[in-house]
Amino acid sequence: MKPVDPKVTKVGFIGTGVMGNPMATHILNAGYELYVYNRTESRAQSLVDSGATFCETPGAVAAECDVIFAIVGFPPDVESVFLGEQGIVAAAKAGSIIVDMTTSKPELAVEIAKVAAVKDVHSLDAPVSGGDIGAQKGVLSIMVGGEEAAFEAVLPLFKLMGANIVYQGPAGSGQHTKMANQIAIASTMIGMCESLAYAKAAGLDLETVLSSISKGAAGSWSLTNLAPKVLDGDYAPGFYVKHFIKDMGIALESSESMGVATPGLTIAKTLYDAIAAAGNGDCGTQALFKAYAQKG
């Protein structure tokens, strides 16, 4: 399987929202012929203005392209985009490579790979971590499952979007790795918010506290990137609360099926469910602090 080449490879990108738009922009800026689809067409307008071609369905994108990426919202969206009548697999050309970058169910990744294989289409599941900041800077962590030969062929495109790109194993392995990632983040977010709530109650200057604890043993991506947003009262989404709740639900289902106890994840989801019910579902994940601010 030959590596992608901007001179001959046509690339499709489905889902051009907060994450997808900058990811697709990196591909377009690298010189690839780009075809895009988004349910809300206006969210793809900046790409079209820069030279991308807008298509009316996911299938129309797949019919034109050699490599097709998608990053959408929820597992039903993934199923529709990839396996629907006007979806990617139905229209994809033999030998093409399809890549789901949504955080979705591992078993759905396996199903997509099986259906795609019947058509001689190569499938990868490649969820990402790093939020809107990582997408904009092209430094996402990308966890990839599926055919290793397809991974090697698409690697030049992954490198346009990410800085930490790791092949994890067969179909579904990328999604399982992302579940492990989300489980780690869930408890980390609790720790970050409880730490800030404690420091606030103690009358400390929160920025001064962060300058100490973010560079010590407690340091984390969340403390470095999201805690300052909390201090500024900035709850704009880099990654939506509603999408994190979706991820945690998938992780809980997978954990239960494997007999793995996840008490930290369970507590985190309960707290996130509460702030979503209070109207914060479209906020960024740092809005978890509101659960503690309300108690203060």
Q: Are residues 209 and 150 in the same domain?
A: no
pLDDT reported for residue 296: 44
Which residue range forms the structural domain that includes residue 250?
177-293
Q: What is the pLDDT of residues 254-282, one digit of tens each?
A: 999 999 999 999 999 999 999 999 999 99
Residue 4 lies in a domain: no
Nearest to 137 by CA among 161, 155, 117, 157: 161
Asked if residue 26 lies in contact with residue 160, where contact means CB atoms within 8 angstroms, the answer is yes
In a domain, 25, yes or no: yes
Claim to verify: residue 190 and residue 153 sit in the same structural domain: no
Tokens describing residue 228: 């300052």
> What integer pLDDT is reported at residue 158 of this predicted model?
98
Q: What average pLDDT does this structure show over 92-120?
A: 97
Residue located via tokens 């629907």: 84
Residue 1 in any domain: the answer is no
The verdict on 246 and 203 lying in the same domain is yes
| Residue 242 falls in the annotated catalytic set | no
Residue 5 lies in a domain: no
Q: Is the pLDDT of residue 295 over 80?
A: no
- Provide the token pair at 256: 């239960």
The answer to whether position 112 is within a domain reads yes
- Tell me the whole-structure pTM to 2 decimals: 0.92
Digit-coded pLDDT (tens) for 124-151: 999 999 888 899 999 999 999 999 999 9
Q: Are residues 211 and 281 in the same domain?
A: yes
**What pLDDT score does 129 carry?**
92
Q: Domain boundary at 150, 170, 190, which?
A: 170
In angstroms, the CA 80 to CA 99 distance is 14
Indicate if the pLDDT at residue 288 is higher than 60. Answer: yes
Tally of domains in the chain = 2
- CA gap 202, 205 in Å, rounded: 9
- Domain shared by 135 and 27, yes or no: yes
Catalytic residue among 10, 105, 178, 290: 178
Radius of gyration over every alpha carbon of the chain, rounded to an integer in angstroms: 20
